[in-house]
Chain A
């Protein structure tokens, strides 16, 4: 079946850029998503990219998609302590926007 993989942990200094990487297997994915989850909370959609796009920028967030390599990345510019959370990559599979999630990358931001 479809699979989404992410590295599990990333530590950055406050003010630096963070880059979280994701690979996926489903070549028919229409949309790819990044969700943020803070401790004890639900999932918050950060951004998404349509599969025919290479890049999408939204304020401090930049998403890059390499469809040939099935690689997705999320860059957070000027990372702040409030960005500390788990970030999930997801692709939409099948109908009805069902989501296949990666295991999540825990981002730790230190002074």
Chain B
């Protein structure tokens, strides 16, 4: 059974049109992450939540925001997607002190 679920698996959006990607988890983990993976590149951390505390990476563009309304759900909002934002977006979760982070299947975002 999938434990970290990302919807949709594929998302096409128009240049400049706000888009939201979602992630849900059944593991009751307190830490959730969003990574961006561009083609043939390493996944790069955008931000993470420790419980309700939002932690932005220093080089994450302002165009990217996140919401975590409860333990189970986390959203990635891209306010004005550009062509350079086309990527696979990966959600992951863990519990503080765990060695393993659990990844979802990812959402592949295309910007047209």
User: Hey, which bits of chain A sit against chain B, CB under 8 A?
Assistant: 4, 31, 35, 40-45, 48, 88, 96-104
Contact = CB atoms under 8 A, between A and B. Distances in A.
28 contacts: A35-B103, A42-B4, A42-B6, A42-B103, A42-B104, A42-B106, A43-B90, A44-B103, A45-B100, A45-B101, A48-B99, A96-B31, A96-B48, A96-B50, A96-B96, A97-B31, A97-B94, A97-B99, A98-B33, A98-B45, A98-B48, A99-B35, A99-B45, A99-B101, A101-B42, A101-B44, A103-B42, A104-B42
Contacts, number: 54
What's the dominant secondary structure at chain B's contact region? Answer: strand
B30 to A, nearest CB: 9
Interface in B54-112: 55, 90, 92, 94, 96, 98-106, 108
Contact of B42 (A41, A42, A88): A88
A44 B2 CA distance: 12
A42 B105 CA distance: 4
What's the dominant secondary structure at chain A's contact region? Answer: strand
A12 to B, nearest CB: 20
Contact of A41 (B44, B50, B55, B106): B106
Interface in B35-51: 35, 40-45, 48, 50
Interface residues of B, number: 28
Given A41-B105, A97-B31, A98-B33, A88 B43 contact: yes
Contacts of B4: 42
A48 B99 CA distance: 8
Given A41-B105, A41-B106, A43-B103, A97 B42 contact: no
A13 B55 CA distance: 44
Nearest to B6: A42
Contacts of B6: 42
